[in-house]
Amino acid sequence: MSFRNRLLLLGSCAIGLVGCSLVYIAPMHQGNYLSPAMMHELKVGMTQSQVTYLLGPPALKNPFSAHRWVYIYYRKAGHFSSARLRHLWIVFHQGRVVRIQRRPGLQTAKPKPGSH
């Protein structure tokens, strides 16, 4: 096999292998999206309907303790990115938020001006 043919074969293999890793994989989102702006607006004392309006319905409601809501958000962006998993627990007493528990990594940030 001549040098030119080997080079052509090697180039074809390289392009084929690189092309396999460039296949687009759409980001996968599951659960309730929990943005930093939403976390900033969530306050102790809010009613259940206000929390539902802000965050949407919870991913899990415990049938044995209806006063505790669980929000879960999972995101995987593609081949080489790590998955992001967020948990948020909200505890109600007499229909109002009394405790908000966040798993580490779920940050609260002030919303940017003009964004809602």
Domain boundaries, the chain: 26-102
The token pair that represents 1 in the structure block: 């096999």
**Torsion-angle region of 15 (φ positive above 0: left; ψ -120 to 50: alpha; else: beta):** alpha
Q: Could you report the per-residue pLDDT of 66-76, keeping only the tens digit for each?
A: 889 988 887 77
Q: Could you report the per-residue pLDDT of 104-116, keeping only the tens digit for each?
A: 654 444 444 554 4
Q: What angle do CA 40, 42, 46 make, to 5 degrees?
A: 150
Nearest to 98 by CA among 39, 31, 35, 47: 47
Concatenated DSSP letters for 38-67? HHHH--TT-BHHHHHHHH-S-SEE-TT-TT
Nearest to 70 by CA among 59, 81, 80: 59
The yes-or-no verdict on residue 94 having pLDDT over 90 is yes
Domain 26-102 listed as CATH 3.30.1450:
yes
**Mean local confidence (pLDDT), 93-106:** 83
The pTM of this model reads 0.61
Q: Could you report the per-residue pLDDT of 46-68, keeping only the tens digit for each?
A: 999 999 999 999 887 778 888 89
